[in-house]
Structure 1
Amino acid sequence: MPLSEFSVRASIAVSDIGRAVDFYEGKLGLPLAHSGPSANITDGSRVYRSGGDVALNVFQSATAGKSEATMATWYVDDLDSIVDELTQAGVGLVRYDQLEHDARGITERAGGGRIAWFQDPDGNTFAIESDR
């Protein structure tokens, strides 16, 4: 049975689950699917829904924020509206010196479309992309 027959979700390590809840639920507005333990931390893990399905597992760990790579990407229809909502919620966009960004922090995506990046409180990087 190939893995392509099963759902997949991103797992994100955070240093403080309480601070992560404020960010992922409060600022990003992700709905909680369920919570549970993470290693020996009671209620140290949260699973969030996005796009109608379970999509993101956030768990407390000493390895939080160690990767500089983009951890997950949301593909959206209206990038401008999403950027506005995130900015109004207090989420800052990441700007990379080697790329040209517009005044709001959005850049042209290789191959067409546009993209913007943001980080959680631990420095985990996420992207928002749109074909327009």
Structure 2
Amino acid sequence: MPLSEFHLRASVAVSDIRRAIAFYEGKLGLRALRSGPSAAVPDGSRVYGSGGGPALNVYQSVTAGTCRATVAVWYVDDIDQVVDELAAAGVDFARYDGVEHDARGITARAGGGRIAWFRDPDGNTFALEADV
């Protein structure tokens, strides 16, 4: 059976689950669907819902923050509104040299649309994308 038949979930390593909870729940507004252990860390992981189902595993690990690429993307209808709401909650948006960003940190996306990036406390990069 091809993998396209199954749901896909992103997983992100963090160095401190308590700090991650403050960011993912407090700033991003994600709702934890469940928690559990992460290796030897009791209660060291969370599964967050997004878009109507489980979407993001966050777990405490010594490998936290080692990926420099974008690890997950939220596709949103109104990127300006979502960026404004997250910025008001304390999320800082990344700006990259050689890329023209507006005052909010939003830039044109290759192939059309718009994109904005932000990082969690461990440096894991996420993006918001909109087709308009």
The amino acid of 2:11's aligned partner reads S
1:68 deviation in Å? 0.6
Matched residues in 2 for 1:52 and 1:83: separation? 21
The alignment's TM-score, normalised by the length of structure 1, stands at 0.99
Give the match's secondary structure for 1:48: strand
The amino acid of 2:20's aligned partner reads A
- Identity fraction in percent: 71
Matched residues in 2 for 1:128 and 1:3: separation? 25
Please provide the CA RMSD for this pair.
0.5
Matched residues in 1 for 2:27 and 2:52: separation? 18
The 4+ residue runs of structure 1 with deviation greater than 6 A are none
The residue number in structure 1 matching 2:86 is: 86
1:106 deviation in Å? 0.4
1:32-67: CA deviation from partner (whole Å, max 9, x where unpaired): 110000001000010000001100000000000001
The residue number in structure 2 matching 1:72 is: 72
Q: Which runs of 5+ in 2 are unaligned?
A: none
* Number of aligned positions between the proteins: 132
The residue number in structure 2 matching 1:111 is: 111
1:120 deviation in Å? 0.2
1:70 deviation in Å? 0.1
1:28 deviation in Å? 0.3
